[in-house]
Structure 1
Amino acid sequence: MISIKKEGIILSETDLDFENDGVLNPAIIQEGNTVHILYRAVRRGNYSTIGYAKLEGPLKVVERKKEPLIIPTTDDEIHGIEDPRIIKIDNIYYLTYCAYDGINALGSLATSTDLIHFEKHGVIVPLVTYKEFYKLAECGGHLNEKYKRFHIHNNIEKNPNKESLLWDKNLIFFPRTIEGKLTFLHRIRPDIQIVSVKNIKELTKEFWEDYLLHFNEHILMTSKHEHEIGYIGGGCPPIETKAGWLIIYHGVHDTSEGYVYSACAALLDLRDPPKELSRLPYPLFKPELPWELTGYVNNVVFPTGTALFDGRLYIYYGAADKRIAVASVDLEELITELLHFKI
């Protein structure tokens, strides 16, 4: 078993209007000894913006802005900008997030060169209803029945009088191009899917129709172990190691007391990331402490970013959808353990 250290809470809600109901699920970008945190800030009524804080080293907060860094500006994100992730390729920061309009939750992209000014590119995942998705995806093979459960039962039936699109969240870019292409993960529940394109402009309606026609070919990971048996989703941006791309993702166990979210780990092939090399058969860490067990959503650890200091990987996560905490692990120890569970 891996030795994990829970470092504790580093950010909590404040009395400021934009974050008076919770802070969670941060995007993390490390530059030397500086760690930039672009976090989901929630005001009462469940409206989200992106706040900003800066760390010196992995844990010491040295700056925190008193107003949002990024706010909703379009109809598709009018109810919130949620759960950001960030990477940097060349001189461009790629910030992905979930745009929420009160009904639909869809992966969106913004870019920046300075972490101050952001250009929004809008929703970049498919804009289709579940019926349209099902019609296309079934052409390539039978779909897991969980797709119907999550999208018809959970999303559509909750909003019978309004159009609900296929929810597509947890949009996460790899931190460099692979074979000359931008590669990213996204999540149509219950699985994690993968996409590669030379340019974001390729993500047209026609591209997504063809992608969905061959949907089963693009499923990267499915639920496998008990702690993730409900569904899985992307967590932190992939980390390049000699052994492969380290993926810290979230797994959900549907228990009699509700969903339990754990942090999980796997390795993907460096040259061929759709190839899974290994996966831990147990959670990397799970809800155990009071502030992970009780909050806006109970029993949640939701990893969304990492930083590396002196060989130790710091994993930043949302705790019970209420606050931001950190866990750490020796990176070499984690890779060695993963290699014991090759697929």
Structure 2
Amino acid sequence: MKPTFRYLDHPVLEPVPGCDWADKMVLNPAIIQDPASTDIHMLFRATGPWPQKRREGCHDPYPIFLGYAVSRDRGLTWEADFTRPALAPALGYEESELYTTDIYGRKVRNYANGCIEDPRIFEVEGELYVTVACRPFSPGPYWLSDQVPPVETRFEYVPNWIFEGGEEDPFIKTARENDTVSVLYKLDLDKLKQGQYEQAFGYVGPLTEGHVSDNRDVFLFPHKMTIQNKPQYVLLHRPMNVQPFEGGEQAGKPSIYLAAAEKLEDFASSKAVHRLLAAPLFDWEENRVGASWPPLSLGDGEWLVPYHGKKDAIFGYTQSFLIVKEQDNEFPATIHRCPDRLMYAEREWEMPQDYPTPCLFTTGGIVMDGELIMSYGAADQKVGIAWVSFDELVAHVRGYDAEGNRL
């Protein structure tokens, strides 16, 4: 029997007219429980027109920001701070403006210069982190690329000098396509919830290589695993172009990958080792699949991995789940995969508006008193919350083998 999911009949957050950085979209929220209470903290993605950076002959740029919210009633209602972003892109344009200082005190390229999108919050070895998908430069109204006829605004704010830069600089190569790179920040939760945003985020660096592939849905397992006789960090990622990665010809389409590296900074380099975890398999995931938010431990080396699939612009995004198990001296492997469309856009406020694709896209999940609480983006413009019995969900997923066949 499929588990029963509960939804609110309204979004918990939505765009705020007149708020310059959240006027257009508020979506794709990450959540984490406060270690000292039942409060739930949220980081959400937001955007609005930014005319103060408009270039002549171009649309308004739409940089993407992170905002902060908190719930004190297990996700039913949320208090959001729309007075200012929690984390904002630098919006530099000249070469000298495209640097930041990382947590080690080094001056490094700032991959979060143009957009900071789709946060995921998780712990690694007792430290709290957040990953975000970033663009070197802001686009214009990017949703116009999905309209008919499409209007491409991705490159309107990429400076001309970028196309004259050296081939040896990976930042320059990434900026030429203005693709997303997943960036890791260290997160100080106490500073975040106290509104000390400037001290809450520490730039660690990129986890993916933008010049290899646009890459999203990136987050780490909370502890190292022994792979190839070495303790290594392990992350999930979803490259848009799978061809450069092992198993890419087999996968053929954007798929869920694992990567292992001895150091965090090695992920965005040739030192990382990649392994295909799950490619599109069912009808509702024909176009792509990607992990949705950080895995939850089931004990005995098993992990529940939430993931999404997309068939096409009409069918939209579906959320489902699989279970992976750690292997001796090897990458984790899928042992159960649910073939069902467990979560998808159904309510009126989740239906398309500016985007043509029905979208319910989970980006956070925590377990409280046996209930899995999930945060999601709806219609690519709003924030929703859903609940389900954690045990019932896991039992349902365990009813299928790794290929989705009923056991």
Please, what TM-score do these two structures have when normalized by structure 2?
0.69
Cα deviation, residue 91, structure 1: 4.5
Once the two structures are overlaid, the 10-residue window that deviates more, 76-85 or 220-229, is 76-85
Structure 2 distance, partners of 1:204, 1:98, is 14
1:188 equivalenced with 2:239 (yes/no): yes
Match of 1:229 among 278, 286, 291: 286
Which residues in structure 2 correspond to 1:18-57 (within 5 Å)? 18-31=21-34, 32-44=37-49, 45-57=61-73
Cα deviation, residue 327, structure 1: 1.4
Once the two structures are overlaid, the 10-residue window that deviates more, 169-178 or 184-193, is 169-178
Q: Which letter does structure 2 place at the counterpart of 1:276?
A: T
Aligned position for 1:158: none
Aligned position for 1:106: 181
Give the gaps of 5 or more residues in structure 2.
50-60, 91-97, 99-109, 140-177, 241-253, 403-407
Structure 1 distance, partners of 2:397, 2:237, is 23
Cα deviation, residue 21, structure 1: 0.6
Aligned position for 2:95: none
Cα deviation, residue 295, structure 1: 3.0
Which residues in structure 2 correspond to 1:110-121 (within 5 Å)? 110-114=185-189, 115=192, 116=197, 117-121=200-204
Query: Residues 278, 324 of structure 1: CA spacing in aligned structure 2 closer, same or farther, 3 A cutoff?
Result: same
Aligned position for 1:159: none
Cα deviation, residue 235, structure 1: 0.5
Aligned position for 1:156: none
Could you report, residue by residue, the CA deviation over 1:91-119 in whole angstroms, capped at 9, with x for unpaired residues? 42111010113421111111123344211
Cα deviation, residue 22, structure 1: 1.2
Query: Residues 95, 20 of structure 1: CA spacing in aligned structure 2 closer, same or farther, 3 A cutoff?
Result: same
Q: SS at the partner of 2:391? A: helix
Q: Which letter does structure 2 place at the counterpart of 1:36?
A: H
Match of 2:310 among 240, 252, 268: 252
Structure 2 distance, partners of 1:198, 1:34, is 34
Aligned position for 1:171: 218
1:68 equivalenced with 2:75 (yes/no): no
Once the two structures are overlaid, the 10-residue window that deviates more, 297-306 or 4-13, is 4-13
Could you report, residue by residue, the CA deviation over 1:56-96 in whole angstroms, capped at 9, with x for unpaired residues? 13224453222101111346333310001011235421110
Structure 2 distance, partners of 1:227, 1:112, is 35
* Percent identity for Structure 1 against Structure 2: 24
Aligned position for 1:153: none
Kept in 1: contact 2:12–2:78 (CA 8 A): no
Structure 2 distance, partners of 1:222, 1:77, is 29
Aligned position for 2:4: 3
Match of 2:384 among 297, 302, 325: 325
Aligned position for 1:138: none
Aligned position for 1:315: 374
Cα deviation, residue 172, structure 1: 1.3
Cα deviation, residue 278, structure 1: 0.7
Which one has a bigger Cα radius of gyration? 2
Q: Which letter does structure 2 place at the counterpart of 1:126?
A: E
Q: Which letter does structure 2 place at the counterpart of 1:110?
A: Y
Aligned position for 1:267: 323
Match of 1:242 among 292, 299, 303: 299
Q: Which letter does structure 2 place at the counterpart of 1:67?
A: R
Could you report, residue by residue, the CA deviation over 1:21-60 in whole angstroms, capped at 9, with x for unpaired residues? 1111111111240111011011135321000001113224
Structure 2 distance, partners of 1:238, 1:289, is 27
Q: SS at the partner of 1:332? A: helix
Q: SS at the partner of 2:12? A: strand
Kept in 2: contact 1:99–1:123 (CA 8 A): no
Structure 2 distance, partners of 1:206, 1:98, is 20
1:286 equivalenced with 2:344 (yes/no): yes
Q: Which letter does structure 2 place at the counterpart of 1:123?
A: P
Structure 2 distance, partners of 1:202, 1:317, is 30
- Number of residue pairs aligned between Structure 1 and Structure 2: 298
Task: Tell me which protein shows more helix as a share of its residues.
Answer: 1
1:96 equivalenced with 2:96 (yes/no): no
Task: Tell me which protein shows more strand as a share of its residues.
Answer: 1
CA RMSD after TM alignment: 2.1
Cα deviation, residue 126, structure 1: 2.1
Structure 2 distance, partners of 1:93, 1:321, is 27
Kept in 1: contact 2:350–2:360 (CA 8 A): yes
Aligned position for 2:16: 14
Structure 1 distance, partners of 2:133, 2:218, is 8
Aligned position for 1:147: none
Could you report, residue by residue, the CA deviation over 1:292-332 in whole angstroms, capped at 9, with x for unpaired residues? 11233230011110122221111111001100001111111
Give the gaps of 5 or more residues in structure 1.
130-165
Cα deviation, residue 290, structure 1: 1.1
Q: Which letter does structure 2 place at the counterpart of 1:14?
A: V
Which residues in structure 2 correspond to 1:190-229 (within 5 Å)? 190-203=254-267, 205-208=269-272, 211=273, 218-229=275-286
Aligned position for 1:133: none
Once the two structures are overlaid, the 10-residue window that deviates more, 317-326 or 30-39, is 30-39
Structure 1 distance, partners of 2:8, 2:76, is 11
Could you report, residue by residue, the CA deviation over 1:241-291 in whole angstroms, capped at 9, with x for unpaired residues? 137211111110126x3x511111111114566300111111121111111
Structure 2 distance, partners of 1:87, 1:338, is 23
